[in-house]
Amino acid sequence: MTSLLHLDSSAHRSGESVSRELTALFAHTWRAVHGPAGYRYRDLAADPVPPLDTAYCSLGRRVEQHGLVPPAGVDTLIKTPAETHAWALTSPLIAELTAADTLLIGAPMYNYSVPASLKAWIDRVGFPGAFTDPDTGGSLLQGTKVVVISTRGGAYGPGTPREAWDFQTPYLRAYFGKQGVAQEDICFVSAEMTMAGLVPHLARFQSEAESSLAAARAEVMALASARAEIEASA
């Protein structure tokens, strides 16, 4: 079954959230082709992933000492109730991700990077050996598509004065690339100047903000439709 894992990380859980609007548009377009059966949603702001603790780190180091044991074998290395709890929090998130054909991430820019809620999820699913195929040594995320919908209050795109202040795009590209996702399978859609309608000193950029959002909506719909068509014919 073709599947989509949809993550929202915006702390703003109202209808004013642009990242949530755009991820919902992608998901709606995707479900129009596939139906709801393969769709999984996780709101990282409403249901936060706990930050890492000593038990997670101790268990992860033990796994590395044994040569990156696959998730199915981690239980045999657990030594304490705290490690049992840490693994119970972690393993379902890993299973969700490895089961997904496409990962959709809503990532508003917070302080030039990703929200803490998204970073907590990234830290936890990055458990040692989580995505290593025990038979081949390859990545279990090979072939997974990652779509990142990034919203920014200002302008950080190519050619803008603050282009170098965008630590989201290179970070997420590097992280998922290390986990085995091919670079051509990582796609970014950005809506910029989203604060132009709210902040007085940005008001002169209102038309640019509207154009950016319209372009992002069109790109999201086209991308979701294209991925749906590719997956449906696979």
- pLDDT for res 232: 52
- pLDDT for res 228: 56
Token pair of 69 as six digits: 């044991």
Give the pLDDT band of residue 1 (cuts 50, 70, 90).
low
Q: What are phi and psi of 41, to 5 degrees?
A: -120, 140
Q: Classify residue 198 as exposed, middle or buried by CB count within 10 Å of its CB (0-12, 13-18, 19+).
A: exposed
CA 86 to chain centre: 21
Cβ–Cβ < 8 Å for 120, 51:
yes
Amino acid at 178: K
Token pair of 199 as six digits: 């902040």
Give the pLDDT band of residue 14 (cuts 50, 70, 90).
confident
- pLDDT for res 196: 85
- 230 pLDDT more than 60: no
* 58 known member of a binding site: no
* 152 known member of a binding site: yes
- 28 pLDDT more than 90: yes
* 17 known member of a binding site: yes
Give the pLDDT band of residue 195 (cuts 50, 70, 90).
confident
Integer CA distances (angstroms), 218 to 22, 29, 166, 191, 221, in order? 10, 11, 23, 11, 5
* 124 known member of a binding site: no
Q: Rounded to two decimals, what is the model's pTM?
A: 0.92
* Side-chain-facing half-sphere of 208: CA atoms under 13 Å: 16
* 173 known member of a binding site: no
* 132 known member of a binding site: no
pLDDT in tens, 80-95: 999 999 999 999 999 9
Residue 108's SS3 state is: strand
- pLDDT for res 205: 82
pLDDT in tens, 213-227: 999 999 999 999 886
H helix count then E strand count, the chain: 6, 5
- pLDDT for res 203: 85
pLDDT in tens, 145-167: 999 999 999 999 889 999 999 99
Percent above pLDDT 70 for the chain: 96
* 18 known member of a binding site: yes
Q: Classify residue 209 as exposed, middle or buried by CB count within 10 Å of its CB (0-12, 13-18, 19+).
A: buried
* 62 known member of a binding site: no
CATH 3.40.50.360 fits 4-233, yes or no: yes
